[in-house]
Amino acid sequence: MTTAPHTRSAVPPVAVPAPASRPAAPLLDVRGLTISYGTGRGTLRAVSDVGFSILPGEVMGLVGESGSGKSTVAMAVLDLLGEGGRVESGEILFRGTDLRRLAPAERRALRGDSIAAVFQDPFTSLNPALTVGRQIAEPLIRHKRLTPRQAAVRVEELLGEVGIRDPRRVAAAYPHELSGGMQQRALIATALGCEPGLLILDEPTTALDVTVEARIIDLLAKLCDSHHLSALFVSHNLGIVNRICQSVTVLYGGVVVETGPTGRVLSRPAHPYTKGLIAALPRITAERRARLPSIPGTVAKLSGPPAACVFAPRCPFAEETCRSHPQEMRAEGDGTGVRCWKADALATTSWPDEGGTAPRRGALPARSAPLVEVEHLRKIYGASTSILPWLRRAGTVAVDDVSFTIDRGEVLGVVGESGSGKSTIGRALLALTEPSAGTVLFDGADFPQQVRRGDQTLRRRAQLVFQNSAASLNPRKTVGQAMERPLVLAGRGDAEERRRTVAGLLTRVGLPAAYADRYPHELSGGERQRVNIARALATDPEFVVCDEAVSALDVSVQANILNLLAGLRDEMGLSYLFITHDIAVVAHIADRVLVVYGGTICEEGPVGRVLRPPYHPYTEALLSAVPRLAEDGSEPPRILLEDSALPPGGRGGCAFAGRCPRKLGAVCDEQAPPVRETDQGHRIACHIPLATLAERAPVFPKLAGGDAAAR
């Protein structure tokens, strides 16, 4: 990093020279860009009059909620808008030339050479039918005119540069043989191959696990430094933007609402939307509270040029002027711009916080018998004992000897990386999968066994809220029909009564009763998730498994749903098993946490205890990888895990041993780690003595609430 204002607070102390004076010519200068899509139902103006510039060596973040036009802008720069997409007006100046004036062949020559890209999803961005090496070599051969042999050499260098230890093997591999992190690194290597001036990164880490994501982000930051790269970094994750970008542009409804240096925008947001966005983010370090602030309303509809402030319908500070006049971008010094005439007036006003800091509901009722008891749960998928020797398979151990309990009214969070068995645990609890071993007791009764016997009565008392709100509603059934069905099964009343119940449930989750007649596709994602929750509540359950129930939602919607769930828990005394990979969400809503890795529980305890040392090495890595905003405090050095393509752990030893940065030796591989208890039900399964584990510095020094939060 040689230029650019270093508001980025988080980068570990790489040598950072003092900011030089701003060089005059931006590398990429986008002016008045307006883009529309022709769709079956008319023209959709996805982006209106967007402008920003990126200086050489600068990484600019482009943030905004889903559908705000981030990808559209990125693709317009690449000239890859695809069918129906059309740049209506504006200029895209790259090194001073307007790309729009170039012939298609000239733009193609720039692509992959001077302007390279990495997309969101490495799994789909690599051609499954070609080896990784070949795909990386393509632009080298094309733009740099290398011979295939030279290219092959260069490919290995590049792979080494992005931190792949065995470049030769990886180059010869097909994409599916690599883990997500390795695939994403291969994409980055491809992008770097021709030493581009500008890198377009469209949500390059969204599809990855937190720990892998942290690695990739670090790598990108380092590469931007070492290669003196400029980048357009598209993301909706403010934490990551905070980590890697020097400046940020915030899009809302296809319009730039705010732009400025990262540190300033994230710590002192000027536009109401930015304020809301930041406020709605659950924080690990924040005070534990009942409700998160949220932005009411739904995403702006994009059809014509904005006639008023795009955010006005959802803005708590809106006045008549906002609803009648389009807003001008008001530029200030240090590259800051805000599209709100009240920005100055609101400078010190923060987003209204309905829930306030009211403490959450009081202590849990005295421990009675737990509602859910899981003992030695084990689930093996796909084992086969065929008579044909070549068909015999050991199967995947998804969950390996897991035991825990959930009290009435308790929220148990489950965190862990993808494939660690979180969903399997949830499904086993609901008797959706038959456990291979172990027992699941629900209110003292053996749930799976009852279901096996055809007794469905317990079903009513345990429900599930899904991750994918779209997939969990039958597209052919109205909301009302979907919600009515559990009532019918429960033998609940006549049609009229059922209708009333449905209406009541809808109101309870904050939807108009008239929504009962809508089809799922007529609802927004947040509304669908509310319907899901309402459906789960239809039978008055006592226990709800939320499997990534908020992961697919935008920050503002997520806040809404979290508030709803918390409210229901408080009102109805529900217990949740709350599965997520977002530790901040768990920290916000859960009472206790299970950290799972490779199907085993490596750490368990009250939230406040788990977030503090002593940590299980995996928990520590996980926590350190969480991207966070500046105000959460300076980031400690991240513990980077090698991402492994292999399923975790050798059986018999510690599941995490293969990737553990603090591995002791053979003992980790061979012996199951002992479970050690610190206090208040805080347990860690690790060979390393507790005292040693406790010596580590806390990952969140500013963790609010002190020990009190841990109760």
Ligand X SMILES: Nc1ncnc2c1ncn2[C@@H]1O[C@H](COP(=O)(O)OP(=O)(O)OP(=O)(O)O)[C@@H](O)[C@H]1O
Q: Which of residues 1-40 bind Ni ion (CB under 5 A)?
A: 1-2
Residue with smaller CB distance to other proteins, 65 or 635: 65
Q: How far is CA 366 from CA 70, 141, 316, 407, 582, in A?
A: 50, 70, 41, 10, 29
Which amino acid, 249?
Answer: T
Which amino acid, 519?
Answer: Y
Integer-rounded Cα Rg, in Å, for the chain is 26
What CA–CA distance (Å, rounded) separates 402 from 350? Answer: 44
Residue 5 CB, nearest distance to Ni ion (Å)?
10
Give the three-state DSSP class for 694: helix
71 lines the binding site for Mg ion (CB under 5 A): yes
Residue 646 CB, nearest distance to ligand X (Å)?
11
41 lines the binding site for other proteins (CB under 8 A): yes
Q: Pick from 56, 181, 239, 480 the residue near other proteins by CB under 8 A.
A: 239
Contact stretch for other proteins (CB under 8 A) within 105-113, 616-624, 672-680, 689-697: 105-113
Tokens 């949220």, located at residue: 294
Number of residues that bind Ni ion (CB under 5 A): 2
Residue 398 CB, nearest distance to ligand X (Å)?
3
- Which run of H or E residues covers position 158? helix 148-161
User: What's the CA dihedral at 604, 362, 574, 590 to 10 degrees?
Assistant: -30
Residue 663 CB, nearest distance to Mg ion (Å)?
27
Binding at 2: pick from ligand X, Ni ion, Mg ion, none (beta carbon under 5-8 Å per type): Ni ion
Residue 440-479 contact track with other proteins, rule CB under 8 A, x = bound? -----------x----x--xx--xx-xxxxxxxxxxxx--
183 lines the binding site for Mg ion (CB under 5 A): no
Q: Pick from 9, 43, 66, 436 the residue near other proteins by CB under 8 A.
A: 66
Q: Pick from 192, 425, 533, 550 the residue near other proteins by CB under 8 A.
A: 550
Query: Which three-class secondary structure string do you get for 612-659?
Result: CCCCCHHHHHHHHHCCCCHHHCCCCCCCCCCCCCCCCCCCCCCCCHHH
Residue 18 CB: number of other CB atoms within 10 A?
5
Number of residues that bind other proteins (CB under 8 A): 89
Q: Do residues 558 and 277 touch, judged by C-beta distance below 8 A?
A: no
Residue with smaller CB distance to Ni ion, 229 or 537: 229
**Tally of residues, the chain:** 711
Between helix 272-280 and helix 555-572 the angle, nearest 10°, is 50
Binding at 71: pick from other proteins, Mg ion, Ni ion, none (beta carbon under 5-8 Å per type): Mg ion
Residue at shortest CB range from Ni ion: 1
* Backbone φ, ψ for residue 606 (5° rounding): -60, 145
Residue 432 CB, nearest distance to Mg ion (Å)?
12
Residue 611 CB, nearest distance to other proteins (Å)?
17
Residue with smaller CB distance to ligand X, 39 or 368: 39
65 lines the binding site for other proteins (CB under 8 A): yes
Strand order in the sheet with 59-63: 115-118, 198-202, 230-234, 59-63, 247-252, 255-261, 337-338, 330-331
Binding at 410: pick from Ni ion, other proteins, Mg ion, none (beta carbon under 5-8 Å per type): none
Residues between 369 and 388 that touch other proteins (CB under 8 A): 388
Residue 673 CB, nearest distance to Ni ion (Å)?
42
Query: Which tokens belong to 493?
Result: 């009343």
What CA–CA distance (Å, rounded) separates 627 from 622? Answer: 10
Residue 206 CB, nearest distance to other proteins (Å)?
5
188 lines the binding site for other proteins (CB under 8 A): no
Binding at 341: pick from other proteins, Mg ion, ligand X, none (beta carbon under 5-8 Å per type): none
Q: Pick from 423, 433, 463, 472 the residue near Mg ion by CB under 5 A.
A: 423
Residue with smaller CB distance to other proteins, 127 or 692: 127
Q: How far is CA 71 from CA 148, 200, 623, 694, in A?
A: 33, 10, 29, 44
Contact stretch for other proteins (CB under 8 A) within 15-23, 355-363, 544-552, 684-692: 544-552
The separation between CA 392 and the C-alpha centre of its own chain, rounded to angstroms, equals 38
Binding at 66: pick from Ni ion, Mg ion, ligand X, none (beta carbon under 5-8 Å per type): ligand X
Residue 84 CB: number of other CB atoms within 10 A?
12
The separation between CA 410 and the C-alpha centre of its own chain, rounded to angstroms, equals 25
67 lines the binding site for other proteins (CB under 8 A): yes
Q: Pick from 36, 72, 183, 190 the residue near other proteins by CB under 8 A.
A: 190
Residue 371 CB, nearest distance to other proteins (Å)?
17
The separation between CA 146 and the C-alpha centre of its own chain, rounded to angstroms, equals 39
Q: Which residues bind ligand X (CB under 6 A)?
A: 37, 39, 44, 46, 64, 66-72, 82, 84-85, 236, 302, 381-382, 396, 398, 416, 418-424, 581
Residues between 111 and 170 that touch other proteins (CB under 8 A): 111-113, 116-117, 119, 121, 124-130, 138-139, 142-143
Residue with smaller CB distance to other proteins, 242 or 327: 242
Which sign does the torsion angle of CA 656, 660, 663, 669 carry?
positive
Residue with smaller CB distance to ligand X, 307 or 488: 307
Which sign does the torsion angle of CA 126, 129, 131, 134 carry?
negative
What CA–CA distance (Å, rounded) separates 566 from 336? Answer: 37
546 lines the binding site for other proteins (CB under 8 A): no
Binding footprint of Mg ion on the chain (CB under 5 A)? 71, 423
